[in-house]
Amino acid sequence: MIKRIWTWFCTFYIWQWLIALDQFINAVFGGWADETLSARAHRCRWRKREWLINLLFCWEKNSEGKRNHCEQSYEHEIDRKDLPEEYALCTSEH
């Protein structure tokens, strides 16, 4: 039971904190508060920063098997895939 709670804590809360930190740093440097550095690097076509971020996330692959974290982050922002399930349900009703 404790192991299951710890696993959930690590996969949910810590991930949420890392995303919040990423968005905070982006906002401090003039970006939108709800956008990650990865999505902004792709949107603004910051090729050197995008290359560096993609290198940091080299273990990730998209559905096509390509390693492009920034592009995938940008597409998730556009498609609003990062919304919590509760928000996704609300937006489909309106």
pLDDT for position 12: 79
pLDDT for position 18: 87
Residue scoring higher pLDDT (36 or 64): 36
> Is it the case that residue 53 has pLDDT exceeding 70?
yes
Domain regions of the chain by residue span: 2-93
- Hey, what are 17's tokens? 């904190």
Residues 37 and 51: their CA atoms lie apart, in Å, by 12
pLDDT for position 94: 47
Residues 50 and 35: their CA atoms lie apart, in Å, by 14
What's the average model confidence in pLDDT over 67-76? Answer: 87
- pTM of model > 0.85: no
Contacts of 41 (CB under 8 A, 6+ apart): 49, 50, 53, 70
